[in-house]
Chains A and B, each alone.
Chain A
Amino acid sequence: MAARQVWITGVGLISALGEGRDAHLAALADPGAVAAARDSASFAPFHVHPIRHLDLERFMPRRGDQRAMGPWMQYGVHASGLALAEAGVLGDAALLGRTHLLAAAAGGERDLALDEEILAGLAGRERPEAYINTRLTEGLRPTAFLAQLSNMFAGNVSIVLGVAGSSRTFMGEEAAGVEIVRVAWRRIAAGQGDLFLVTASYNAARADMLLLHQTGGRLLAGPWRGLWDRPAGGMTLGSVGVALVLEAADHARARGARPIARLAGVAHGWSDRRPGAASRAAAAQWDLPAGVPTLVLSGASGAGPVTAEEHAFLAGRAEGLAVRGTAAALGHPVEAAFPANLGLAAWCVDAGIAFPPLATDPIESVGSAAPRRAVVTGWGVRRGEGLGVLEAP
């Protein structure tokens, strides 16, 4: 059986740059807007790219639903609503009942004030564990756990938007964001489903998330610098909610849904990250005929040494690639990085445009010849070398 073609028929994206296609393509062309989207004060000396506004009423009008989620889940539910609406699936119970949901998730927001109260109260106590037991038992909001559980992000997408076919949550930083797309793409190609919603979310404006990454010294501290010009601690985290509707081309045609782009391939390497290993894994996947104007959206986080290795890898590819490191504008949204770049790439392929360079680095110097193909890289900070290829349908 010939593999079925996979189309993207809906894209939902919310980030520090705003919401949706027009806002993103306008902001990406405006260095002032990109700079203004950063927040270098709230977590100084670190930087985050926060989502500043979310219209909760649009997809989550019920107060009970709003209270059941923190911002992390809300961003993803909102993006899922946007993608389903564009694909013409939102509100269609018959289609939603057959929609398979794959989510890439970390965990939800902790009660940081309670953590700090407990840590402060521990000083000089003879039985600190007993104190923690009592304070957590008294202080944790019972329902807050449901806003923290990884799988409850997908659970809320199902409950709030009615996605009822199935629900699976993938975990594991950037790699989870690659695998939700790869597994959906393979399942559609092999006839194991027609209609998928893949979604990921990240809330960067969380001290607990900053702490997770800074225990490894991963964050850029001090003055902001261009993405390709950072020390090993070079990551600036970014809030993103993203969702893609992936659909079998025949299924989309039959219901009159318009393709935004065709998902031509997804590959995922797993190197041990000795010097050069990630490049070798990526080179093994890079099977693109030359001569097609190609936009490359890199998911490089800014953290070293892998960002420098990816930079060298991309610089060594064929001439004429228009490379853009989108973390310079969105920040690094970890699980959401790969799907967010696929969403941006789908818009670029659909419109036949590439937004201007986001850095002064030579690999971003190639201009915006109308791309017919887009490549998205998703190299994790620690593991995984993802690659996605989109083409005009």
Chain B
Amino acid sequence: MTASPVAVTGIGIVTSLGEGTEANWRALLAGRSGIRRITRFPVDGLKVTFGGAVDHGGLGALTVAGRCFAMGRAVAAEATAQAGLGDAAFAGPLFLALPPIEMEWPQRRRIAARAAAPRYAAMLAVADEGPEGADHVDFLFGTVADRLARAFGTEGAPISMSTACASGATAIQTAVEAIRRGDCARALVIGSEGSLQVEALIRFGLLSALSTHNEDPAGASRPFARDRDGFIMAEGAAALVLESPAAAAARGAAPLAYLRGCGEAADTFHRTRSNPDGSAIVRAIAGALADAGLPPDAVDYVNAHGTGTPENDKMECLALQAVFGERATRLPVSSNKSMIGHTLSAAGTIEAAFSVLTMRDQMLPPTINHREPDPAIPLDVVPNVARPAAVRTVLSNSFGFGGQNVSLVLSRDAG
């Protein structure tokens, strides 16, 4: 069954390339990389010493939750301003894609330092800082959403979501469903990722998921290239104001684009690997197209998940070949992650926002660092240089660890 389109009336973006939608988009079309050596914390002894940290305005000194809130507030302010909603309370709910939050080493050390012994039992005895204490409130999972809900005056209980690297797309899908069933006329979707703290970097490194090209941070993210060796952990945020087309029209807001279809599928195969037949990814893509009521031929460009891990890019190619057939070799497919790294929980929202800009300007952002094509991936990855193209409809893919796959179909027009 084809479901109704949902309008995008505002977007906001922050990444390691900079603050604001236009600054990010210019840098992306210029093929610039935001990936750098990490200065936020000492990197001695680490397997991976670089990433896409967002450090402006003192963000580097904050906790993960603090960065997620600050970036989320910045992008939501940009998106609501673009949507023409001003500073009034946002008349709709908040859907937030967020990384898991937990106490970090500075706080753990501080509590241990005042305990009789560096053990949890002793730390518990001296832990109480009161119900508003930062070491308590900052590490509750619900705090970032609560603070964003209060900052923008959103309605009802805010929802924080995680489907790992698909979280941003999941938040968009959940909001689209709420608008379609008439629960709300408008929703604020934010994906915010500020996880570049030392333990998270080490954990991803131990999974052998990260690139180890420490000597060349800006050149390390090589989606679809033969010499790709993993993704780059990165931060960033994006917000989208979603509205029913009728609600947008009623207040004279001009939609930037439309969410036409959402598809999802859970892979039951393995914790970090996709089913080798690509079936769950294919189901997500096919589900999004069916939801949009569009044939594969309607897709003009694919904003790829394209993480740069050997496994993901091969599987994504396989799935695109299954869905698009012989046309897969000609269909432009590029990865923003070649420039901004993998923004994990925020990636789905950031890439949806870039998809909107792709259609606005009829320009395809490139896949940079593409020096050695992988003969096993015969795709047009828009290598190294942005280029103009006629783009009415974009497919944006997000695939998460744990087999949580989401695809979105966005179009310039409602139908």
Contact = CB atoms under 8 A, between A and B. Distances in A.
Q: Do A and B come from one complex?
A: yes
Interface of A: 43, 46, 68, 101, 105-107, 110, 112, 115-116, 119-120, 122-123, 127-130, 132-134, 136-137, 140, 142-146, 148-152, 154-156, 158-159, 162-173, 175-176, 178-179, 183, 186-187, 190, 192, 207-208, 210-218, 232-233, 268-270, 272, 380, 382-384, 386
| Category for how many chain B residues contact A | 35 or more
Contacts, number: 262
Given A159-B269, A172-B142, A270-B158, A217 B164 contact: no
B48 to A, nearest CB: 10
A129 B124 contact: no
Task: Report the 8 A-B pairs with minimum CB-CB distance, sorted nearest first.
Answer: A155-B402, A172-B142, A216-B136, A119-B118, A207-B120, A190-B181, A217-B128, A215-B136
A207 B123 CA distance: 10
A173 B161 contact: no
16 contacts: A106-B100, A119-B118, A123-B118, A140-B202, A145-B206, A149-B100, A149-B402, A154-B163, A167-B264, A168-B161, A168-B163, A169-B161, A171-B142, A172-B142, A216-B131, A217-B131
Contact of B141 (A110, A115, A142, A173): A173
Nearest to A206: B120
Interface in B251-283: 264-272, 280
Contacts of A132: 105, 198
Given A140-B203, A155-B401, A163 B266 contact: yes
B202 A268 contact: no
Contacts of B132: 216
B119 A116 contact: yes
A192 B181 contact: yes
B260 to A, nearest CB: 16
Contacts of A46: 124
Given A133-B202, A152-B401, A179-B159, A164 B139 contact: no
A123 B280 CA distance: 49
A145 B174 contact: no
Contacts of B136: 212-213, 215-218
B239 to A, nearest CB: 18
Contacts of A120: 118-119
Contacts of B164: 149, 151-152
A154 B402 CA distance: 8
Nearest to A134: B45
B139 to A, nearest CB: 6
B109 to A, nearest CB: 7
A137 B206 contact: yes
Contacts of A166: 264-266
Given A159-B403, A216-B131, A119 B112 contact: yes
Interface in B27-46: 41-46
B351 to A, nearest CB: 18
Given A163-B266, A173-B141, A211-B103, 14 more contacts: A112-B120, A137-B46, A145-B204, A146-B402, A149-B164, A151-B402, A154-B163, A167-B264, A170-B161, A171-B162, A207-B120, A210-B120, A215-B136, A216-B131
Nearest to B118: A119
A173 B118 contact: no
B140 interface: yes
B131 to A, nearest CB: 5
B142 A116 contact: no
A162 B400 CA distance: 17
A382 B131 contact: yes
A282 to B, nearest CB: 13
Nearest to A130: B44
A175 B142 contact: yes
B55 interface: no
A218 B131 contact: yes
A175 B93 CA distance: 14
B397 to A, nearest CB: 15
B156 to A, nearest CB: 6
A116 B120 contact: yes
Contacts of B103: 208, 211-212, 215
Interface in B192-228: 198-199, 202-208
Given A211-B103, A216-B129, A169 B163 contact: yes
B135 A154 contact: no
B248 to A, nearest CB: 21
Contacts of A208: 102-103, 120
Given A130-B42, A159-B268, A215-B129, A167 B108 contact: no
A218 B127 CA distance: 10
A323 to B, nearest CB: 23
A151 B131 contact: no
B181 A187 contact: yes
B265 A169 contact: no
Contacts of A150: 100, 141, 162
Q: Which of B98, B127, B133 has the most CB of A within 10 A?
A: B127
Given A112-B120, A119-B109, A137-B202, A215 B160 contact: no
Contact of A149 (B157, B181, B198, B401): B401
Contacts of B170: 168
Nearest to B177: A192
A137 B204 CA distance: 11
Contact of A151 (B180, B272, B400): B400
A211 B402 contact: no
Interface string B395-411: 00000111110000000
Interface in B135-162: 135-137, 139-142, 145-146, 149-150, 156-162
A122 B118 contact: yes
A269 B142 contact: no
Contacts of A144: 203
Which of A178, A192, A232 has the largest count of B CB atoms less than 10 A from its CB?
A: A192
Contacts of A130: 42, 44-45
Contacts of A151: 162-164, 167, 400-402, 404
Contacts of A187: 177, 181
B121 interface: yes
Contact of A212 (B43, B139, B149, B208): B139
Nearest to B42: A129
